[in-house]
Amino acid sequence: MRRAPWVLAGTVAGLFGILSFRSSPQKITLSTLPTTSAPATASTPASGSPSGATVGPAAPTTSTASGGVVSATGPLVNYFYGVLSVRVTAASGHITKIAIASLSDGAYAYSHYVDSVSLPMLIKQAMAAQSAKIQGVSGASYTSAGFAQSLQGALSSLKLS
């Protein structure tokens, strides 16, 4: 019977701690996601980054800049936690830059965290592989699959796959 007050006090303290805990979703924008680019002889065109809530074009788009530099935006892919699109820039048949063209993953704090950690890794993998055949990131299966699908769409429109 001497333990009952301690157990009751511990339960009340734990319950108070749980009920007073407040969390808010972490804000992520495309400017916080780094892009990886390989050195190229031609300069790559600067492109503006849309905000995290912006949804880009539904179909792949391709554009050509001076000096043989071409870029394409992959299709929007719903990857269960949101929608993303990848933009690829290439010169002389090699990928020189990969960036996230649009990203909308709602108000899920966990999805924001997973995207901020996994997307830079996926970009590095794609740059190293020079294709959409990437390993992916453990713990980010949906994001990895959506990234690879949009990347493949962009590479197909550039005829690099």
Query: Mean pLDDT across the stretch 56-75?
Result: 70
> How do residues 10-43 score in pLDDT, each as one tens digit?
999 988 888 887 766 555 555 555 555 454 433 3
Does some domain include residue 104? yes
Q: Is residue 18 part of a domain?
A: no
Q: Which domain holds residue 78?
A: 26-40+48-157
Token reading at 34: 């780094």
Per-residue confidence (pLDDT) for residue 4, from 0 to 100: 86
pLDDT, tens digit, 9 for 90 and up, residues 123-142: 999 999 999 999 999 999 99
Q: Per the structure block, which two tokens stand in for 50?
A: 């849309």
Nearest to 158 by CA among 135, 132, 136: 132
- Greater confidence, 1 or 92? 92
DSSP 130: T
Give this prediction's pTM.
Answer: 0.63
Which phi and psi (to 5°) does residue 76 adopt? -70, 130
pLDDT at site 5: 87
CATH number at residue 73: 3.90.1010
Q: Is residue 71 part of a domain?
A: yes
Work out how many domains the chain is built from and give that number.
Answer: 1
pLDDT digits (tens, 9 = 90+) for 95-128: 999 999 999 887 778 888 889 999 999 999 999 9
pLDDT band at 45 (very low <50, low <70, confident <90, very high): very low
| Residue 61 in domain | yes
Residue 8 lies in a domain: no
Angle at 78 between CA 75 and CA 79, to 5 degrees: 120
Residue 113 lies in a domain: yes
pLDDT at 88 over 90: yes
Domain membership flag for residue 21: no
